[in-house]
């Protein structure tokens, strides 16, 4: 029987933090590098700025021009789809203005996805696929299947999940699952 894989968007398929860092620098007169910003300690913004940032993220086009995080992702997802049912699961409820841009972004880079398999959700505990690939330990903890943690500087300390550093590693991992 075909197994199913749910894939997160931000920091798994899309480079959200690069855009966020750029937006913070442009709006709040800072000059964080992407590395500093990703490390997390320097993005504890004052409350007013956090509020403003959410407004900016909620603008209709904010999520439309994100870069693909790892160029290999496109080809690997396409190949995985031959053997697994692929779902996209993005927790976008705190930024409802992003829905359309996120959908159009997926259609641009991953046009081969089944549109019926795109899920905008809150908690991913409702996602009952066999696997979930996510950078958020919080989402993986709520998930009942096999959690795969996409490595980011801010989740380095998390243990207990299979850890992947890039999409080539993900491809190899799932090739191994197929022959088991
Ligand atoms: Mg994410």
Whether pLDDT at 42 is above 70: no
Q: Is the pLDDT of residue 78 over 90?
A: yes
Ligand 1 centroid to Cα of residue 62, in Å, is 16
Task: Give the Å distance between the CA of 7 and the centre of ligand 1.
Answer: 9
* Mean predicted lDDT score pLDDT of the chain: 95
Q: How far away, in angstroms, is 137 Cα from ligand 1 center? A: 10
Q: Give the contacts of 85 (CB within 8 A, at least 6 positions apart).
A: 2, 3, 4, 5, 117, 129
What domains are defined for the chain?
Answer: 4-15+67-178 (3.40.50.1000), 16-57 (no CATH)
The whole-number pLDDT of residue 37 equals: 87
- Which residue's entry shows tokens 């496109």? 74
Output the pTM of the full model.
0.96
* CA 152 to ligand 1 centroid distance, Å: 10
Which one of 8, 70, 134, 135 is the catalytic residue? Answer: 8
CA-based nearest residue to 10, from 160, 136, 109: 136
* Choice among 10, 70, 134, 135 that is catalytic: 10
8 catalytic residue (yes or no): yes
Residue 40 confidence (pLDDT): 74
Q: How far is the CA of 134 from the centre of ligand 1 (A)?
A: 6
Q: Among 23-37, 72-86, 125-139, whose mean pLDDT is lowest?
A: 23-37
Residue 9 Cα distances to 76, 105, 126, 138, angstroms: 15, 10, 17, 15
The sheet carrying 146-150 orders its strands as 118-121, 84-91, 3-7, 131-134, 146-150, 162-164
Q: Which two tokens stand for residue 99?
A: 């829905």
pLDDT at 128 over 90: yes
Ligand 1 centroid vs 30 CA: distance in angstroms? 24
pLDDT tier at 45, thresholds 50, 70, 90: confident
Per residue in 151-174, pLDDT (tens digit) is 999 999 999 999 999 999 999 999
* pLDDT confidence of residue 43: 67
44 labelled catalytic: no
């Amino acid at each position: 029987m075909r197994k199913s894989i749910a894939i997160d968007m931000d920091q798994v398929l899309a480079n959200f933090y690069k855009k966020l860092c750029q937006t913070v620098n442009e709006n709040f007169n800072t000059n964080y590098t992407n590395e500093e910003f990703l490390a997390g300690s320097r993005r504890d913004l004052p409350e007013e700025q956090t509020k403003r940032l959410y407004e900016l993220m909620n603008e209709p086009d904010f999520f439309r021009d994100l870069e693909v995080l790892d160029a290999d992702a496109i080809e690997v997802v396409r190949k995985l789809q031959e053997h697994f049912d692929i779902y996209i699961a993005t927790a976008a409820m705190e930024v409802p203005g992003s829905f359309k841009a996120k959908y159009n972004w997926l259609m641009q880079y991953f046009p081969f996805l089944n549109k019926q398999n795109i899920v905008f959700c809150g908690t991913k505990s409702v996602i009952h696929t066999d696997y979930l690939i996510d950078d958020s330990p919080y989402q993986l903890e709520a998930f009942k299947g096999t959690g795969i943690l996409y490595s980011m500087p801010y989740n380095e300390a998390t243990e207990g999940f299979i850890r992947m550093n890039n999409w080539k590693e993900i491809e190899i991992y799932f090739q191994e699952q197929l022959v088991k």
